[in-house]
Structure 1
Amino acid sequence: MTIRTQEEIVSRVWALRANRGDIFGFREEVLVEALDLEHARQVITPRHPGEWTQRVDHETYARNYLRFAAGKILEHRGNSASRSVDKLSELAWLLGRDDIAAGMGRAGYPMYGAPKVTAFADGFGWPLLDDLDGDDRRALARMAEGQQCDPRGCERGCAD
């Protein structure tokens, strides 16, 4: 998979800042980790430049983060799930998949962003439910359809 150029990433960081499109910095975090030290210095001043670590394998990170995001949805963690959606959207952009980012944008945000996370997984053709047990698999599938995690009712926070 080909990621965006260093210059494109720097421009996007500045655009997010200018438009206040990333108030908590979750999207910027994804982007800055994709920069080499030379380009990172254009947007941040690391305290210890010798300790700068650039993420190299963005696809593996995105796959692992997808599993993490599914867990936050299943745990009914509102803020964490929202952060996960933001980071996955930015990872889609970073990996050059504007179509997936747009699909996530079109998906609704009921049930802790499950439709958006499902759009991410489906767009890449990555399994989202395969490594979940049966109950979690059914719950996440229902949530992605905008339904409560449990058809008998949810005591953790789902609402129709």
Structure 2
Amino acid sequence: MAQLNINGKSVTVDVEDDTPLLWVLREQVGLTGTKYGCGIGQCGACTVQLDGAALRSCVMPVAAVTPQQKVTTIEGLGAEQPHPLQLAWAELDVAQCGYCQSGMLMAAAALLAQNPDPSEAQIRSEISNICRCGTYARVLAGIQLAARRMRASAPAHSAPAARN
């Protein structure tokens, strides 16, 4: 038995402790947006977030995830309104076949949450997901566009109150 917090909801599943989180999400919970790619944590199609950090779910045993940790899948990204990355992806027509894109979006969202103004080199270093269609230039442009928009819409820090 495993109790998980997935996209803000508590879920209990009856699986073996060594079952990869990917299969729990897809087969037990029915969240099929997270994709199986290589099964060895290399391609990134299975990327989800665990407490905001990008994670390859195909190599993460479900027993390693505690009920206090928050798992976010592509279904939870922009659940109430589209995430700026999702909007940029659509605007720039980033996806070609689309298979890897949920993992790309989850990795990119984790990066922008940690670093709202990443350089091109930082994006290329952090987003190690593989795209068989080779849309890397559009992925880069989508991340940069979303980052600019997120920074522009972020509330400005107010000046400290004057002391008398």
**TM-score of the alignment, normalized to the shorter chain, above 0.5:** no
* TM-score, with length taken from structure 2: 0.29
Indicate the structure with greater helix content.
1
